[in-house]
Amino acid sequence: MVKYVLNKVVLAILTIFVLATATFFMMKLIPGDPFASVTTKIEVQQAQRAYYGLDKPVVEQYFTYMGNLLRGDLGFSMKKTGRTVVDIIQEAFPVSAQLGLFALFFAQTIGWLFGILCAQFRNRWPDYVLMVFAVLGIAMPSMVVGPLLRYLLGVVLRWLPVTGWGSFKQMIMPSLVLGLGTIAGGTRSMRASMLGVMTQDYVITARAKGISPVRVVMKHEFKNSLVPLVSNLGVSIASVLMGSFVVESMFLIPGLGRYFVDSITNLDYSLIMGLTVFYGAFLVTMNLLVDVLYGFLDPRIRETVKGAAK
Amino acid sequence: MKKVFALILALMLAVASLTVAVAEENIVRVGMGYDPTTLDFAEQNLDSSNFIMEATAEALIKSKGNGVYAPGLAESWTVSEDGRVWTFKLREGLVYADGKTALTAEDVYYNVKRLLDPAVGHGNVSFTIKNAQEYYEGKVAFEEVGVKVIDDLTIEYTMANPAYESSFTGTAIAGAMEQAFVESFGQTFGASAEAYLAYGPYTVSEWVADSSVTMVKNPYYYDPSVATLDKIIVVVGATGDVAVDMMLAGELDIADFANPNHIQTVVDAGFEQKTSFLESYQGLNINLKGKTEETGKFLSNVNFRKALNLAVNRDALVMSVRQGEEPATRLSHSSEAAYAYNPDYTAVPSAGDVALAKEYLNKALEELGCTIDELPTFELMCFEAQGSINTLTVYQDMWKQNLGIKTEIAALTIQVMISNAMSGNYDFWLGGNGPTVPDACESYLMGYTTANYSPLRGCSDPVFDELYNKTVASATLEERLTNYAAVEEYFCENVMSLITSWTTNYIYAPASYAGIYVADGGHLNVCSLTK
């Protein structure tokens, strides 16, 4: 198992290196530069480029960047003057992560619950109603649902704050809006997985033994349905924890989401690189964790790894 | 039972006293679009940072809005006859918000020296001081630059052109920075509340990046009566729909709006317009040399440009796709000081004049020896936002229908658009420019002079150059604005740019609020607000 994990770690590092290299050169292919401006004098623009080392050959810039990256130095943002990329990630990521976890918890709980019910009532009206409801969550974009909820719950009913971040009340609305889109996916995956498990011999045996339906569903069907779902969880967690431009802007949440968009619009090279490397490393780590978790959840995988090691 | 009752009563009293304490705190929450990004005078350029500068810093002269000026860091000043040499006497006993560091003329000098440091390339660098550009280009030593400390309380500026009070209201060239403090933070100076040393009526107590900036009274400010609020909170991102909802829910007190729908909603909820400011001149930049030789042949013809200008119905344009803006019939807006020096001037009717446009087109075709069928297709360039594309579609339709001129729209990413603009790779380019005080010379007209010639606009007109140079060399403000009237007329009559609308922002707050004003450069000031 240790060798299996080590292999995965080496592969992860290699992935991040390739990602950083590819991003660096692709970023340089975008026309313009962060200091191009029609209102700033040419000599000032040149001084700014020189200050950030952009006047040097691209290959030299690449080696400098990779050298700094190995030391954990992601540099200063070129647009958020005086702030390092590490500072920006350190401040914004916990906020996005918190929002993402709330949203994911909300979406997965509802999605899985809907999926279980849909499978139990397969091709009957509860199945259709819940699927329609779940699909509505995907069909209505957050930029529509968000302002509507904000107006209804914040302005008209005054139940929840309209914007802001910090208190539990402030987290409810954005988490709901962010989670809505993933409910449908969760419902569909759980439904399909449950349907696959429901016809297995051990489930039929359990039912034949007269075990209560709730116990059969929770102990035999639900638990075993989770295995294929967990494999997708890594990517879902990584993407949802990185923040959402739309939801964060709508509820004034100081998360990471807007930086992904702004850094590219402004061609903030160091922030683009920092965010990509961070996102890549996070994604790779999550996948690694999922692989390990997968082994724990499914004894067959553990055995395969052991067998391969022998 | 009595004990329980007493406990409940005590709790209720505690909660009530807490509520009273919160209610008594005199706080104002102001919505701003973007995070300040920095509080470094040499770099900051957003509305939010300007707003914070207004409250936490001060220049030698203070702008009180509407062309009124008052002593700031300087209690008095003298000006040479030619308007170029300004000698300022600083107030005695000035200290920073730490309560111990004295603010002297050396700090004002250091602020300028740092701004002009060519090794850094600060975004707000200004070459209005004598020899500033030469120093920046490495031609002279800093000692040759026109800023000199006479003594601890006296500093002298020698300017490249005659200057006015408005030249010394910005912190970039007329503020103060404590060298040891700045250097102790190095590159991170101005990037957090801790890395900023205020000296205005308020000081920054907390800055949560991309969320809020909180300012509290500075007890060491020389005039404690200026700060009337306990706290000013800048709420980042609170604009448009979000700001409206926040105001309706009681989470925001002050915000600026341009959209008539937003304005109507907040007015219906009891908010009132307190002040306004011109944000930008909007329209089409024209590359007088054209993107190609073929288009340049037409765009360099003044009658052709006049035809294009008159064929645009600005009223319809604003009503359909630029709601909240005003149709521009000249460069200067009525809120600008320059407008008053030539109030009757109108360059173009807001509804356009199609008949006259056709006359000019025929004249142009005759001069160029062409027929309408020989006209090339012109390119209209913009940023790839739907609003911009809609705007260009209106120009496109009007020119096609009124004059039979064909155009195509090129909606590009911001970087490609800037790159094309910089290299003159366009015919028309949709864009805006912010105003400057006392007139639009620095913000707009300078870009059309031969001395500042770049491939950007393809412009080189000796008559315009002469009028421009005469304006900026005016010894008094009155003389300058009189001369400006002439250069503005020449600019508009020759359609060097196709200005079509003015963007004005309107500041809304509860009806009972007083003391809100907009200083030079559109800087909102609420320091002395009373509720």
In order of A225, B110, B131, B214, the CA distances from B43 in angstroms are 56, 15, 21, 20
Q: By the 8 A CB rule, do B86 and B79 touch?
A: yes
Ordered by start, the domain boundaries in chain B are 30-235+513-525, 280-505
Strands B517-519 and B497-510: unpaired
Residue B490 to residue B484: CA distance in whole angstroms:
10
CA atoms of A84 and B327, how far apart (whole Å): 43
> Residue A19 and residue A23: Cα distance in Å, rounded?
6
Please check whether residues A141 and A11 belong to one and the same domain.
Answer: no
Q: Do B238 and A158 touch (CB under 8 A)?
A: no
In terms of CA atoms, which chain B residue is nearest residue A157? B249
CB B32 within 8 A of CB B234: yes
Q: Are A98 and A35 contained in the same domain? A: no
Q: Cα–Cα distances in Å, from B455 out to A42, B409, B423?
A: 12, 21, 5
Q: Do residue A132 and residue A274 come from a single domain?
A: yes
Q: Residue B241: which of A33, A82, A147 has the nearest Cβ?
A: A147
With a threshold of 0.85, tell me whether the complex ipTM lies above it: no
A32 to B123: CB separation less than 8 angstroms, yes or no: no
Cβ within 8 Å, pair A31-B415: yes
A10 and A99 inside one domain: no
B119 touches chain A (CB under 8 A): yes
Q: Which fold has domain B280-505?
A: Dipeptide-binding Protein; domain 3 (3.10.105)
Q: CB B121 to CB A41 under 8 A? A: no
Q: Is residue A290 in some structural domain?
A: no
Preferred mutation among B210, B212, B433 to probe A, highest tally of A CBs within 10 A:
B210
Q: How far is CA B243 from the centre of its chain?
A: 21
- Omega before B219 cis (within 30°)? no
- By residue count, chain A amounts to 310
Q: Check whether residue A186 and residue A95 sit in a common domain.
A: yes
Within this chain, do residues A14 and A112 fall inside the same structural domain, yes or no?
A: no
Residue A78 in domain: no
Min Cα–Cα distance to chain A from B211, Å: 5
Domain assignment of residue A80, yes or no: no
Question: A11 and A136 share a domain?
Answer: no
pTM, rounded to two decimals: 0.85
* 3-class state of residue B251 by DSSP: coil
B377 touches chain A (CB under 8 A): no
Is residue A59 domain-shared with residue A26, that is, in the same domain? yes
Nearest to A155 among B195, B248, B433 (CB): B248
| Structural domain containing residue A6 | 2-70
Asked if residue A225 belongs to a domain, the reply is: yes
Give me the residues of A, 115-144, that contact B with CB < 8 A. Answer: none
> Is residue A270 one of the residues assigned to a domain?
yes
pLDDT tens by residue, chain B, 531 residues? 455 445 444 544 444 444 444 446 799 999 999 999 899 999 988 889 999 999 999 999 999 988 899 999 999 999 999 999 999 999 999 999 999 999 999 999 999 999 999 888 888 888 999 999 999 999 999 999 999 999 999 999 999 999 999 999 999 999 999 999 999 999 899 999 999 999 999 999 999 999 999 999 999 999 999 999 999 999 999 999 999 999 999 999 999 998 889 999 999 999 999 999 898 999 999 999 999 999 999 999 999 999 999 999 999 999 999 988 999 999 999 988 899 999 999 999 999 999 999 999 999 999 999 999 999 999 999 998 899 999 999 999 999 999 999 999 999 988 788 888 888 899 999 988 888 888 998 888 988 998 876 667 888 899 999 999 999 999 899 999 999 999 999 999 999 999 999 999 999 999 999 999 999 888 999 999 999
Q: Does any domain span residue A208?
A: yes
What CATH number corresponds to the domain at position A125?
Answer: 1.10.3720.10
Q: Which residues of chain B from 149 to 208 reach within 8 Å of chain A, CB to CB? A: 185, 187-191, 195, 208
Closest Cβ opposite residue A36 in set B136, B248, B422 = B422
Shared domain for A203 and A256, answered yes or no, is yes
CB contacts under 8 A, B 48-77 vs A, are: none
**Can you tell me whether residue B47 is helix, strand or coil?**
helix
Burial A299-309 (b: 16+ CB within 10 A, else e): eebeeeeeeee
Interface check for B418 against chain A (CB to CB < 8 A): the answer is yes
Question: Which B residues 441-460 touch A at CB under 8 Å?
Answer: 454, 456
Which of 3.50.50.60, 3.40.228.10, 3.40.50.300, 3.40.190.10 is the CATH number of B30-235+513-525? 3.40.190.10
Helix/strand/coil for B183: helix
Mark yes or no for CB contact B121/A46 under 8 Å: yes
Q: Pull the structure tokens for residue A148.
A: 């509507």
A81 min Cα distance to partner chain B (Å): 6
> How many domains does one find in chain A?
2
